Amino acid sequence: MSAPVICFGQQPCGFFPRRFLYAKFQTARRLQSEIGGEIVFFLHDSDHDLRETQTILRHRKTDAPATLNFTVENKVQRKWSPLFLKRIAPGWHATTARQLGAYVSAERLEAFKQNTATNVAEFCLEQYRRMGLLDGIRVVRSGDPAVRTVACDVTDYFADVPHEGQIVRARMMDGVLKLHEGGESYVTLPPCPITKEQISPTRDTRLRWMQKVVRCTHYIAGAGEQAYLRKEDAPEITFVSRDAIDRSDEAYH
């Protein structure tokens, strides 16, 4: 039999990762110590929702929470570009670094200062790397054209297409590309050619799309994922609940 492949997935979720993501790392390492094999982090950096990267930190003296997040170059990027194409606005890095001393250790602050990534997804990933979270772990990114090329075809998908001088992540709905404005409001985009390298999955198609690439034997999921994962799409996978952790939405640092 081939060695186990232990996988977990997550969008970039804060420049210091949320504690529920840290719990997935820990669960994967514990499982690896029990059954062997490799660990794969499926980073869904195709997601476009900037709320995913909100970073909740607590003041080191008062314990008061503060919510920090990236600022990006323009409104179109903020609303609709995938996280790997949201370019960080000039000045954000220096301004945020000046605030962080009240919330994180000198070591974490220095790692932040040394992070020179220029887009949101890459900045998060580099920060996780500098924190040692990725040691010995293979990262597979949904925004990688090479990954998209070998993934399976899906009929329910998003496509990265041009709009107002930017690349945006538009949902294919009834044969038409649309951008969600909020509520029941959408912007309809003109037809354009779409290649496989532009396509990323929706929530409902993500598991089998990912599995075609990763071919994992075990998948670690949080409570929210357990509720919507279409496990019937990958009956060969053993699903494992991530370990519990308190203050799961706050940042691990």
In-domain check, residue 163: no
22-76: per-residue pLDDT in tens? Answer: 999 999 999 999 999 999 999 999 999 999 999 999 999 999 999 999 999 999 9
- pLDDT at position 64 is 97
In-domain check, residue 50: yes
Segment 198-215 mean pLDDT: 96
Average predicted confidence (pLDDT) for the chain: 96
In-domain check, residue 236: yes
Percent of the chain at pLDDT > 70 equals 100
CA distance 225 to 131: 25
pLDDT at 221 over 90: yes
In-domain check, residue 188: no
Bridge partners, residue 109, by sequence? none
- pLDDT at position 241 is 96
- pLDDT at position 1 is 59
Confidence tier at 116 by pLDDT (50, 70, 90): very high
Picking from 3-12, 93-102, 222-231, 236-245, which range would have the lowest pLDDT averaged per residue? Answer: 222-231
In-domain check, residue 201: no
Q: Read off φ and ψ for residue 93, nearest 5 degrees.
A: -60, -50
Bridge partners, residue 141, by sequence? 43
Query: What domain range includes position 99?
Result: 5-151+214-241
> Residue 248 corresponds to which tokens in the numbers above?
């799961």
In-domain check, residue 160: no
Segment 12-26 mean pLDDT: 97
Segment 151-177 mean pLDDT: 96
Count the domains in the chain: 1
- pLDDT at position 224 is 85
In-domain check, residue 84: yes
Closest CA to 251 of 88, 25, 7, 67: 67
In-domain check, residue 174: no
